[in-house]
Amino acid sequence: MQVQLFGTKGCSDTRKALRFFKERRIKTHFVDLRQRAASKGELRRFVQKFGSDALVDQNSKRFRALGLHTAYYGDDRWLEILEEEPLILRTPLVRYENRLTVGHEEAVWREWVER
Protein backbone atom coordinates (compact mmCIF):
# COMPACT_ATOMS: atom_id res chain seq x y z
CA MET A 1 0.00 0.00 0.00
CA GLN A 2 1.25 3.46 -0.89
CA VAL A 3 -0.57 6.77 -0.53
CA GLN A 4 0.11 10.12 -2.11
CA LEU A 5 -0.26 13.07 0.20
CA PHE A 6 -0.32 16.76 -0.77
CA GLY A 7 0.16 19.38 1.91
CA THR A 8 2.64 21.60 3.69
CA LYS A 9 4.91 20.74 6.57
CA GLY A 10 3.51 23.70 8.51
CA CYS A 11 -0.05 22.33 8.41
CA SER A 12 -1.00 20.41 11.56
CA ASP A 13 -3.52 18.21 9.71
CA THR A 14 -0.87 17.27 7.15
CA ARG A 15 1.55 16.34 9.93
CA LYS A 16 -1.18 14.22 11.57
CA ALA A 17 -1.80 12.43 8.28
CA LEU A 18 1.91 11.75 7.76
CA ARG A 19 2.17 10.42 11.32
CA PHE A 20 -0.94 8.25 10.87
CA PHE A 21 0.50 6.47 7.84
CA LYS A 22 4.03 6.31 9.28
CA GLU A 23 2.79 4.63 12.47
CA ARG A 24 1.17 1.95 10.31
CA ARG A 25 4.31 1.55 8.17
CA ILE A 26 2.53 2.65 5.02
CA LYS A 27 4.67 4.23 2.33
CA THR A 28 3.76 7.82 1.58
CA HIS A 29 4.72 9.95 -1.35
CA PHE A 30 4.60 13.43 0.18
CA VAL A 31 4.33 16.48 -2.08
CA ASP A 32 5.10 19.69 -0.20
CA LEU A 33 2.96 22.36 -1.85
CA ARG A 34 5.46 25.04 -0.84
CA GLN A 35 8.09 23.29 -2.97
CA ARG A 36 6.00 21.97 -5.86
CA ALA A 37 2.38 22.47 -6.85
CA ALA A 38 0.05 19.57 -7.60
CA SER A 39 -0.48 18.93 -11.28
CA LYS A 40 -3.67 20.05 -12.98
CA GLY A 41 -4.63 16.40 -13.54
CA GLU A 42 -4.30 15.57 -9.84
CA LEU A 43 -6.31 18.61 -8.84
CA ARG A 44 -8.97 17.77 -11.42
CA ARG A 45 -9.54 14.37 -9.73
CA PHE A 46 -10.24 16.06 -6.42
CA VAL A 47 -12.42 18.79 -7.97
CA GLN A 48 -14.49 16.20 -9.86
CA LYS A 49 -15.15 14.23 -6.70
CA PHE A 50 -15.58 17.00 -4.12
CA GLY A 51 -16.10 20.22 -6.09
CA SER A 52 -13.91 23.28 -5.88
CA ASP A 53 -15.64 24.61 -2.74
CA ALA A 54 -14.37 21.64 -0.72
CA LEU A 55 -10.79 22.17 -1.88
CA VAL A 56 -10.49 25.91 -1.29
CA ASP A 57 -9.51 26.94 2.24
CA GLN A 58 -11.42 30.18 2.53
CA ASN A 59 -9.88 30.86 5.95
CA SER A 60 -6.29 30.85 4.72
CA LYS A 61 -4.25 34.03 4.81
CA ARG A 62 -3.24 33.56 1.18
CA PHE A 63 -6.90 33.34 0.11
CA ARG A 64 -7.66 36.72 1.68
CA ALA A 65 -4.40 38.28 0.46
CA LEU A 66 -5.33 37.42 -3.13
CA GLY A 67 -8.75 39.01 -2.69
CA LEU A 68 -10.53 35.78 -3.60
CA HIS A 69 -13.03 36.06 -0.74
CA THR A 70 -15.24 38.18 -2.99
CA ALA A 71 -14.87 35.99 -6.09
CA TYR A 72 -17.52 33.71 -7.60
CA TYR A 73 -15.90 31.35 -10.09
CA GLY A 74 -16.82 28.04 -11.66
CA ASP A 75 -14.87 24.81 -11.12
CA ASP A 76 -12.71 25.35 -14.22
CA ARG A 77 -11.50 28.76 -13.10
CA TRP A 78 -10.91 27.53 -9.54
CA LEU A 79 -8.86 24.67 -10.98
CA GLU A 80 -6.57 27.18 -12.71
CA ILE A 81 -6.28 29.28 -9.55
CA LEU A 82 -5.50 26.23 -7.39
CA GLU A 83 -2.78 25.17 -9.81
CA GLU A 84 -1.19 28.63 -9.62
CA GLU A 85 -1.78 29.15 -5.88
CA PRO A 86 -1.50 25.79 -4.09
CA LEU A 87 -1.35 27.45 -0.66
CA ILE A 88 -5.10 28.11 -0.74
CA LEU A 89 -5.85 24.38 -0.84
CA ARG A 90 -7.47 22.69 2.16
CA THR A 91 -4.88 20.13 3.18
CA PRO A 92 -4.00 17.35 3.29
CA LEU A 93 -5.17 15.95 -0.01
CA VAL A 94 -4.70 12.18 0.19
CA ARG A 95 -4.97 9.68 -2.65
CA TYR A 96 -4.86 5.91 -2.41
CA GLU A 97 -5.48 4.21 -5.76
CA ASN A 98 -8.78 5.80 -6.88
CA ARG A 99 -9.86 6.84 -3.38
CA LEU A 100 -9.51 10.46 -2.31
CA THR A 101 -9.89 12.54 0.84
CA VAL A 102 -9.65 16.25 1.60
CA GLY A 103 -8.61 17.34 5.07
CA HIS A 104 -8.08 15.18 8.13
CA GLU A 105 -10.21 12.07 7.49
CA GLU A 106 -8.73 9.49 9.84
CA ALA A 107 -11.84 7.28 9.83
CA VAL A 108 -11.64 6.92 6.04
CA TRP A 109 -7.89 6.21 6.18
CA ARG A 110 -8.52 3.49 8.77
CA GLU A 111 -10.93 1.80 6.33
CA TRP A 112 -8.23 1.89 3.64
CA VAL A 113 -5.69 0.30 5.98
CA GLU A 114 -8.06 -2.44 7.17
CA ARG A 115 -8.76 -3.67 3.61
Closest CA to 57 of 89, 84, 105: 89
Does the pLDDT of residue 69 top 80, yes or no?
no
- Whole-model pTM: value is 0.87
Residue 25 has pLDDT above 90, yes or no: yes
What confidence category does residue 99 fall into, taking pLDDT thresholds of 50, 70 and 90?
Answer: very high
Give the mean model confidence (pLDDT) for residues 31-47: 91
Give the residue-averaged pLDDT of 29-37. Answer: 93
pLDDT given at position 34: 92
Question: Could you give the number of structural domains in the chain?
Answer: 1
Residues of the domain holding 77: 2-114
Tell me, what CATH number does 31's domain have? 3.40.30.10
Please report which confidence band the pLDDT of residue 109 belongs to, taking 50, 70 and 90 as the band edges: very high
Q: How far is CA 54 from the centre of its chain?
A: 10
